[in-house]
Structure formats: C-alpha cells, structure tokens
C-alpha cells in the first residue's frame, strides 16, 4: 500500500534510508536508580516498550498528548538507531471512573468506554503518533488477570476478604524504592481506611461489586480487576517477564508503577520487572499541572481546531521529556512560526542557485553526528533541535553566497528530511497526485514486489522529472514528497 505522506497513526517500523551506526553509547535516566545509565537492552538489538494507556471515559487532552508525543520521539529515535522496537500500550476500559461517568450519563459502561476509545484513537491519529504493535483492552484479558491473581494467592503474596483480593505489601521486598519513599511516607497516600486490609498499603487486585454493577465472574465472586494488575498481566502477555522500558507520566510512579513492580516480580519469582523506568514531566498551565480535577484541561480535538499537530510536537520537543512544560497559546503560536521558518528553509533549499562548494554537505554530516550525540544523551530533544536550527542558519548563509554545488545541497536536503523525519515533524510540501502519477506509483510498487529493480528505477526517474521524490521506508511503504523546484538551476 503506497503511503502518500506520513500522517496519522504511523506503521510501527517507520524506517529511514540510512540509520546511523551505533558508534556511541545511548544513555537513559532511570527513575528507579535516579541515575543516567548506559542503555543496554536485554536482547541486544530488540527493545520491548510498554507505555501506560488511557482510561477511556473522556476525551484525550493535551496533558495526555504531551506524554505520548514525548515517547513518540523516543520510539522513532530507537527505530532510527536500528533497534527493533516492540511497543505495547494498554487500554483501560473497565475502571471506577468509567463506571461513575456512565452512571452520571445514564449509559452502559461498555458502550461509553468503547466510544471514548474510538475517539482517543482518532485523536492519536490526528496527532501523528506511531501505532503500538498491540493495543490490548482490559475487558479482553479478564481470564488472564484472574489467573494472575490466583497465582499471587497461591504464592502467598495476596489474600481474599469478602470477595475482594488484596496484595500483601509486607511480602514485597523493597516496596517504595521506585518512588523513593519509606513506609511512613507511603501511608500518607492512603487517605481512606479499609478494615478489610491487613495493612493500609495493601492494594486491590480484584474488587467485589454488587450483582447489578458492571463486573465479571471470578473464583472469589462477582467483581472487577483492580487498576494495577492489568498492566502487569498485559505487559507480561505481550512482551514477556522482563521489559526494557516502561513509561508513563510522573504521576504514575506511585502508586501505579510501584505496585506493578511488587506484583510482577512476585508473579515471576523476583526477576527484575523493568530495566529502565522512564517518566515524563507534567504539562502545566500557569505553573499548575493540567488535570480534570483542576478544570484546566484542553481536549486534543479542541486544540487541533486552532493549531497544528506539528506545532504541538515542536512545542513538546523544545522541552526535555523529564521536565515540566508550561502551556500557553503564545508558546504554540511561536511554535507555528518556527515551523513555517523550517518549511521556508526547505523550499529555499530545493530551489537554491548552485555553485561548486561542499560546505552544506559538511554541515549536514555535522548535523547528523550532533543530532545522534544529543539524542543518545537521554533523548535530549531541546539540544537536538538546537543543532537543527544551527544547521538551518549555516546553510541559509551558504545559499546567500550562492556557492554550493547541486550534490552538496541535495545531500543537505536529504539530511534535513532525515532528521525532521526522526523527530516526527512534517515539513515537506504535500504531494497532490494526479491519477496518472498514482497509477505509476502503484505500478512501481508491483515492480518492487517482483524485484524488477530496473523497471522500478525507471518510474522513479520519470516521477522525479515531474518534481515527485520517492522515499522507500524499511517497512515497505513509500512516501511521496513534492519537489516542484528540484530542477531549478541545474
């Protein structure tokens, strides 16, 4: 299937023309150790990533989008560095918040969650986010969750009281190490006393509910899963007992991710559950976290009525993923202006007057090396963007002098496209294809499937003469970029 432009939910293996060699060591900040560590995936060139997904009872908002956009850049970069990335994002489609919202609206919880899941998928598509390999729902994995809870009871890590099952935190060694809290600090989080628990810190694996409520049959009676157990079960099912990266926003560190560690390592016999824990900073408004409880959220679909997804992406990438970032319409407007400058640079680079110089090519090599150096250092997107803007300024000066050769400028353009592509930005002009051009591309795809490279290249040249540049991705898809001024001055 030909992909005219990179838009919407992207294929998992994005692929770039020439991923760089692994000449430097990637480093990642690990929330668990609170240190920058060398990135050494468990299976060498393969990286298993689990990102906590949405609880689907309302519209996706830009606070959510900040987290997913930040991880999107990380996933794209891992792809670019040559890793095979296996990515799972869960869907919480049964939860107390969903039940509450459904009751308020007089609706069936299953219908409400299904509706908002579809809407959130549309919002992620509109943001141009990469698609996970798996989008597992809790409701589709109840049997696996029940099996895991039964196993925890048999192993002595959980106990049943009146149809509910709780994890016994006293049996989990090192509980609190992810959030860096001792037992006294942790107990402050438990506001509502529960006489059924042995310890205030114990958390629900299975919650008993009345027969008229939304729930499922289990060995302990009618009920539904606790929040935390779903991620342990789903990550293990699709990615195995030990994962390379587990991510989410900072507010998930406790209790959600802390509890995931306890129950997962109890299930697997104390194997380290996650090698690298990664958490994004909050999206803030006037210094306060954006949240439904504060009433300062902005749904993604409302944001996109006024601004572009690329402006939001650039706004997010201008801050380090671990740092809080303050949202304002002025900041987004500035990002829109910066995007336009990048687009204008690209248009100018396509139609530049040529000489004999090679400095643009040299600048492109410097850009790629410094970009990799920046991203290898805990995915430092602000530094990576700074290197890109330095490159733009430098090549603009070279074009002012009308000194660069065709080969040098072409190389610079390819490097620019490569870097902005890794960042997920859409800078190129949209290619509007005639029916004749579309037919040619489909014919070329058939030649590629037949490995008839001579005929395939003939069509590539034919389209290039019309100002259409084809970029073949590793996953087999093809991007078509408009190069209407490609032949100028040559």
DSSP calls for 332-396 = HHHHHHHHHHHHHHHHHHHT----SB-HHHHHHHHHHHHHHHHHHBT--HHHHHHHHHHHHHHHH
Distance of CA 262 to the CA centre of its chain: 25
What is the pLDDT at residue 464? 82
DSSP classification of residue 377: B
Strands (E), 52-113: 84-89
Mean pLDDT within 422-427: 94
| Whole-number pLDDT of residue 14 | 39
pLDDT of residue 473: 58
Structure-token pair, residue 192: 């509502």
Gap between the Cα atoms of 308 and 326, Å rounded: 18
Question: Would the pLDDT of 171 be above 70?
Answer: yes
Q: Is the pLDDT of residue 10 over 80?
A: no
In this prediction, residues 153-175 reach a mean pLDDT of 96
3-state SS of the chain: helix, strand, coil percent to 5? 45, 15, 40
Q: Which of 28-37, 197-206, 315-324 has the lowest mean pLDDT?
A: 197-206
CA–CA dist 23, 44 (Å, integer): 15
Strands 243-249 and 274-280: parallel
Please check whether residue 352 is in contact with residue 404, taking contact to mean a CB–CB distance below 8 angstroms: yes
Q: Are 7 and 15 in contact, with CB atoms under 8 Å apart?
A: no
Question: pLDDT band at residue 190, thresholds of 50, 70 and 90?
Answer: low
Separation CA 192–CA 96 (nearest Å): 16
Q: Where in the chain is the domain with CATH 1.20.120.640?
A: 334-482
- Residue 167 has which token pair? 């994890």
Report residue 352's pLDDT band, with 50, 70 and 90 as the boundaries.
Answer: confident
Pairing of strands 223-225, 203-208: antiparallel
State the pLDDT at residue 16: 41
Q: Do 73 and 423 form a contact (C-beta atoms < 8 A)?
A: yes
Domain with CATH 3.40.50.620 in the chain: 27-317
Residue 445's pLDDT is what? 85
Q: Concatenated DSSP letters for 196-229?
A: T-SSTT-EEEEEE--TTSS-B--TT-SEEE-TTH
Give the pLDDT of residue 186: 80
Q: How far apart are CA 10 and CA 126, in angstroms?
A: 11
The model's pTM is 0.85
As separate numbers, helices (DSSP H) first and strands (DSSP E) second, the chain gives 15, 15
Structure tokens at 134: 């798996």
Q: Is the pLDDT score of 249 beyond 80?
A: yes
Name beta bridge partners: 47: 85
Q: Is the dihedral of CA 68, 37, 372, 474 positive or negative?
A: negative
Of 329, 308, 337, the C-alpha closest to 424 is 308
Q: How many CB atoms lie within 10 A of CB 15?
A: 16
- Is the link from the previous residue into 415 a cis peptide, with omega within 30 of 0? no
Q: Is residue 278 a contact partner of residue 67, using CB atoms and an 8 Å limit?
A: no
Nearest of 94, 114, 115, 96 to residue 104 by alpha carbon: 96
Please check the confidence at residue 429 and state whether its pLDDT lies above 80: no
CATH level 3 topology of 27-317: Rossmann fold (3.40.50)
Q: What is the pLDDT of residue 6?
A: 31
> Do 58 and 107 form a contact (C-beta atoms < 8 A)?
no
Q: Using the 8-state DSSP alphabet, how is residue 195 labeled?
A: T
In this predicted structure, what is the pLDDT of residue 29?
98
207: phi then psi, degrees, rounded to nearest 5: -115, 125
Question: Residue 182's pLDDT band (boundaries 50, 70, 90)?
Answer: confident
- In which band, very low, low, confident or very high, does the pLDDT at 482 lie, cut at 50, 70 and 90? low
Nearest CA among 448, 449, 341, 443 for reference residue 395: 341
- Minimum mean pLDDT range among 16-20, 164-168, 373-377: 16-20
- CATH fold for the domain made of 334-482: 1.20.120
Q: What is the mean pLDDT of residues 160-171?
A: 96
Query: How confident is the model over 32-59, as a mean pLDDT?
Result: 96
Q: Give the model's confidence band at 7: pLDDT under 50 very low, under 70 low, under 90 confident, else very high.
A: very low
Q: According to the model, what pLDDT value does residue 229 have?
A: 98
What are the pLDDT digits (tens) for 360-418?
A: 999 999 999 999 999 999 999 999 999 999 999 999 999 999 989 999 999 999 999 99
Name the residue with higher pLDDT: 189 or 296.
296
Q: Are 243 and 97 in contact (CB under 8 A)?
A: no
Residue percentage of the chain with pLDDT more than 70: 89
Helix (H/G/I), strand (E/B), else coil: 59: coil
383: left (phi over 0), alpha (psi -120 to 50) or beta: alpha
**Residue ranges in 6-61 assigned as alpha helix (H):** none
**Structure token pair of residue 394:** 């430098």
């Amino acid at each position: 299937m030909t992909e005219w432009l990179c838009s919407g939910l992207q294929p998992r293996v994005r692929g770039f023309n020439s991923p760089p060699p692994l000449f430097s060591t990637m480093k990642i900040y690990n929330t668990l150790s609170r240190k920058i560590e060398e990135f050494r995936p468990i299976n060498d060139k393969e990286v298993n990533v689990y990102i906590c997904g949405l609880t689907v009872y309302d519209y996706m908002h830009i606070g959510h989008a900040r987290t997913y956009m930040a991880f999107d850049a990380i996933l794209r970069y891992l792809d670019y560095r040559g890793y095979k990335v296996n990515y799972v994002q869960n869907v919480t489609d049964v939860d107390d918040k969903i039940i509450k919202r459904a009751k308020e609206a007089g609706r069936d919880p299953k219908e409400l969650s299904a509706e908002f899941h579809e809407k959130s998928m549309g919002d992620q598509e509109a943001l141009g986010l990469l698609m996970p390999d798996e989008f597992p729902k809790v409701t589709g994995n109840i049997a696996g969750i029940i099996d895991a809870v039964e196993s925890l009871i048999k192993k002595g890590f959980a106990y049943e009281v009146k149809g509910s099952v709780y994890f016994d935190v006293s049996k989990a060694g090192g509980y609190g190490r992810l959030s860096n809290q001792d037992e006294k600090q942790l107990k402050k989080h438990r506001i509502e006393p529960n006489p059924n628990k042995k310890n205030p810190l114990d958390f629900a694996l299975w919650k008993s509910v009345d027969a008229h409520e939304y729930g499922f049959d289990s060995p302990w009676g009618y009920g539904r899963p606790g929040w935390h157990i779903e991620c342990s079960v789903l990550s293990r099912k699709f990615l195995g007992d030990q994962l390379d990266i587990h991510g989410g926003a900072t507010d998930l560190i406790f209790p959600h991710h802390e509890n995931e560690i306890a129950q997962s390592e109890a299930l697997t016999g104390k194997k380290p559950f996650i090698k690298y824990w990664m958490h994004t900073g909050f999206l803030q408004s006037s210094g306060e976290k954006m949240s439904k409880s504060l009433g300062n959220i902005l749904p993604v679909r409302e944001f996109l009525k006024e601004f572009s997804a690329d402006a939001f992406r650039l706004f997010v990438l201008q801050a380090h993923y671990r740092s809080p970032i303050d949202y304002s319409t002025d900041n987004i407007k500035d990002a829109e202006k910066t995007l336009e400058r990048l687009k204008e640079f690209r248009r100018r680079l396509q139609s530049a007057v040529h000489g004999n110089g090679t400095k643009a090519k040299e600048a492109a090599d410097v850009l790629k090396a410094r970009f990799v150096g920046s991203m290898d250092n805990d995915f430092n997107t602000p530094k990576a963007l700074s290197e890109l803007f330095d490159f733009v300024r430098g090549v603009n000066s070279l074009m002012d002098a009308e000194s660069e050769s065709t080969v040098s400028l072409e190389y610079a353009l390819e490097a620019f496209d490569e870097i902005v592509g890794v960042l997920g930005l859409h800078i190129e002009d949209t290619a509007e294809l005639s029916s004749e051009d579309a037919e040619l591309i489909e014919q070329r795809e058939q030649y590629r499937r037949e490995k008839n490279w001579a005929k395939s290249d003939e069509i590539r040249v034919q389209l290039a003469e019309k100002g259409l540049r084809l970029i073949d991705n590793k996953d087999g898809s093809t991007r078509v970029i408009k190069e209407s001024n490609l032949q100028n001055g040559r």
